[in-house]
Amino acid sequence: MSEHNRVIVIGAGIGGLTVGALLARKGYSVSIVESRAYPGGCAATFERQGYRFDAGATVGCGFHKNGPLALLGEDLGIAWPVMTCPAAWDFIQGDRSIHLSHSRQEILAQFPDSRLFWDEQDRIASLLWSLAGDTLPWPPAGLSELDVLFRKLIRKAPSLAPMMPLVNKSALQWLREHGLDSDSDFVRFIDAQLLISVQTTSEHANALNAAIALDLPSKGTHRLTGGIGSVSEKLAEAVESAGGRLIYNRSVENLERKGRRVVSLNTSDGARHPADIVVANLTPDSLRLLFDPHASGANRIKKGPKSGWSAFVLYLGVEESVFREGDAGHVQIVAGSGDLGEGNSIFVSVSPSDDSLRAPEGFRAVTVSTHTRPEKWFEAKERGDGAYEELKASYTKKVMSLISQHFENMEGRIAVMSAATPVTWERYTGRSFGYVGGYAQTSLFGVRGPGTPFRNLFLAGDSVFPGQSLPGVVTSSRRVAALVERKYGPRSKK
């Protein structure tokens, strides 16, 4: 292979697969190393006891016209196995029930004073979607990207003007401008949406990040035949059809470096993989461990993780009779009081009745998740003496109590149940401390780009701006592929 042609991607999550597929089509020799036996990472679908459960990410978004997934499909020749959902999800809080559809009619019926806010949100989100499609290199990595960013912003300057007043405002300040900050019910509704999309609530969320996050139900969600893992499976096929290869059941143990370059990777089977370019579909903390393999176990717990979210997830096989005709495939259930997360707010995803790939006849595959801080889970695991299992049991009880407020008869009709904690997430995805969902989107500044201190090592995934969700990860991964091609040029296979 020609110089700078060998690309090794660490991790076959959506970010790594996207970068790998795009670079393979450009003539690079791409190998993707994945520790599991299947692709997808946090957006995988796994099989257990006759069910196909979505591991974490469950909502198919970004497939709308000119959306990031739609554009990626066009570039890679992928026909996504999607169907439009009539509603994104249902929001349930006590007696309040809101069907989040494309039109927002039910939101306006419950919160009529919010109309002007939603009108402005729609205008701002439309501008942001157009920027996402243009792959803005933010934050710029070096002078070449700064030049690209400047030229693109100059070209789009007239359309960007309406966004500028929100650049340094929080979502709550934005609500205050519309006189909505004093409506505690509306703020809690907004907070619940933002927590699952930008990893924080309106008090801290950046207004522009909130604008595009709140647009997801309006743009529409899609169900994927076979589960959300169909996205990664299609991307893996695209990698291989372009001449790339996927190496499963191999974890990267460490990176060899020479000066400011990574020269090779060593994997768990004892193999050494020389590399010209390395893309790490990892969190920054997980990447750091590849250079410092001794920072593990109790030492990490004493040091303590940075503030971030993980998830507690229940995977349930449930009798079909529990679900009513016309129910949304996704339901967000929120307690009337208390901080969101930690079992006080849950997101429930139910497999479609006509998707025979997901569950045995007469049953549905259900994923239920709640945000949780990881510290307590690793501390309990370290203590032993049943502390970890007790914590898992208490969260299971709390989550099932909340889910029963909407699905009254579910608890007695569960055929299969298993749980995942931050400890599980770390073990199965390699994400240090089980962090999922990316970073809290509190500012457009101080965010992380794909660059690293090493000239030929790049980050991909939800730690890189613009962050979490299928659209966010695909957008940032396109930028990584463009950065590599701009730096090393197009390649041809020999």
Q: Would you say residue 112 has pLDDT above 60?
A: yes
Q: What's the CA gap between 405 and 346, in Å, rounded? A: 12
Q: What is the pLDDT of residues 128-172, one digit of tens each?
A: 888 777 777 888 877 778 888 888 888 877 778 888 999 999 999
Which residues does residue 312 pair with via DSSP β-bridges, in sequence order? 370
Q: What is the pLDDT of residues 40-56, one digit of tens each?
A: 999 999 999 999 999 98
290 is written with which tokens? 């590849």
The Cβ-side half-sphere exposure at 155, using a 13 Å CA radius, reads 10
Mean pLDDT of the chain: 90
Q: What is the pLDDT of residues 417-472, one digit of tens each?
A: 999 999 999 999 989 899 998 899 999 998 999 999 999 999 999 999 998 889 99
Q: What pLDDT does residue 130 have?
A: 81
Q: Would you say residue 1 has pLDDT above 70?
A: no
Q: Would you say residue 2 has pLDDT above 50?
A: no
CATH code: domain 6-44+62-82+226-300+436-488 is: 3.50.50.60
Q: Longest Cα pair distance anywhere in the chain, in angstroms?
A: 65
Burial of 280 (0-12, 13-18, 19+ CB in 10 A): buried
Q: Would you say residue 228 has pLDDT above 90?
A: yes
SS3 category, 230: helix
* Model confidence band, residue 3 (pLDDT cutoffs 50, 70, 90): low
Q: What pLDDT does residue 128 have?
A: 87
Distances (CA, A) of 295 to 185, 289, 292, 376, 436: 44, 7, 6, 19, 20
Q: What is the pLDDT of residues 285-307, one digit of tens each?
A: 899 888 865 544 434 434 444 67
Q: What pLDDT does residue 408 have?
A: 84
Which H or E run contains 459? strand 457-459
> What number of residues does the chain have?
494
Instruction: Answer whether 205's CB lies under 8 Å from 198's CB.
Output: yes
Q: What pLDDT does residue 299 have?
A: 43
Instruction: Answer whether 183's CB lies under 8 Å from 152's CB.
Output: no
Q: What pLDDT does residue 306 have?
A: 60
Question: Per-domain residue ranges for the chain?
Answer: 6-44+62-82+226-300+436-488, 112-216
